[in-house]
Amino acid sequence: MQGVDLHTHSNISDGTMTPELLVHAAIEKGIRTLALTDHDSMDGLMQAEEVAKNQPIQIISGVEISSQWSRPTTNKSYGVHIVALNMQNPEPLQRLLIEQKKVRAQRSKQICDLLIPLINQDIYADVLAKVDGEPDRVTRTHIAKTLVEKGIVHRAQQAFDKYIKEGKKAYVKFDGLGLQETIQVIHESQGFAVLAHPTRYDLSATNIRYLVEIFAQYGGDAIELPPSIESASTRQMVDRMIEQFGLKVSVGSDFHGDNMPWIKLGNIPRVKEGQVGIWESFK
């Protein structure tokens, strides 16, 4: 499957390219079907569509939603990213995103407040400067980058490992909409719900299975295939779940520009014989 990338970020969230630049870069790479999937925002869509006019590329509306799920018998909830694609009627989803953006704005301030006693300074103003002063666009990537620039850590990954990932002192859970409601709203918007990067949640194989099972039960449409750098056994596990639960597949690079320079735009895993691409359902 060449020429498709259904998971990318612009600088509306934690990518580094503007939506315009991203579309130009995608055209140069020979991408014909591109979804812009910023975190909890569809604000780059119009810019992307404008640039794509009369160009050999189709822009698919998209957004990566910070959702959460739990196992029926436990109270613990886990964060999960749901990529919504190809909405024909964006209004229900836009209403959901207003709430998600409020959560994101509050959480970014909370994280910075928790960091103060740990690093002896308040970096909130510098974090905000990275997103044109718009708190509802702040991601942990921006906070990590600020910690690097302040010399508090050497690399962004260290900021996660030391301070802001789950279990660390400045971690704040994203209290987003539950998985079932998220899928429901995506469908009300006549879009498709894709479980993003199923093997990147720090979940045991058993819990990944539970997640995929309830995702399918709630009517989720497709699973994103793991990047080709992941092991063959990981891929086989995902392939088995896709088959067992009768789900379609999605492909995306999760491109973030220079924030994650090792991820290349348009670099997507191979689709296995018999797997059905969600893009075949696009209107």
165 binds, among Mn ion, ligand AMP, none (CB under 5 to 8 A by kind): ligand AMP
> Which residues have CB under 8 Å from 145's CB, separation 6+?
130, 156, 159, 259
* Residue in 14, 40, 43, 221 binding Mn ion, rule: CB under 5 A: 14
Task: Report how far residue 263's alpha carbon sits from residue 74's, in angstroms, rounded to the nearest whole number.
Answer: 35
Residue 264 C-beta: closest distance to ligand AMP, Å: 15
157 binds, among Mn ion, ligand AMP, none (CB under 5 to 8 A by kind): ligand AMP
Residue 81 touching Mn ion (CB under 5 A)? yes
Residue 11 touching ligand AMP (CB under 6 A)? no
The total number of residues written for the chain in this structure: 283
* Residue in 140, 145, 187, 197 binding ligand AMP, rule: CB under 6 A: 140
Q: How many CB atoms lie within 10 A of CB 104?
A: 22
Q: By Cβ distance, which residue is nearest to Mn ion?
A: 81
66 binds, among Mn ion, ligand AMP, none (CB under 5 to 8 A by kind): ligand AMP
Q: Which one, of 103, 69, 262, 121, lies nearest residue 174 by Cα?
A: 103
Q: Please tell me what DSSP assigns to residue 67.
A: E
What is the Cα 246 distance to its own chain's centre? 23
* Binding residues among 27-46 for Mn ion as defined by CB under 5 A: none
Give the 3-state secondary structure of residue 74.
coil
Stretch in the footprint of ligand AMP (CB under 6 A) among 50-58, 92-100, 133-141, 233-241? 133-141
Three-state helix/strand/coil letters over 13-45: CCCCCCHHHHHHHHHHCCCCEEECCCECCCCCH
Residue 145 touching ligand AMP (CB under 6 A)? no
Q: Which residues bind ligand AMP (CB under 6 A)?
A: 14, 39, 66, 139-141, 157, 160, 165, 174, 256
Q: Which residues bind Mn ion (CB under 5 A)?
A: 14, 64, 81, 196, 254
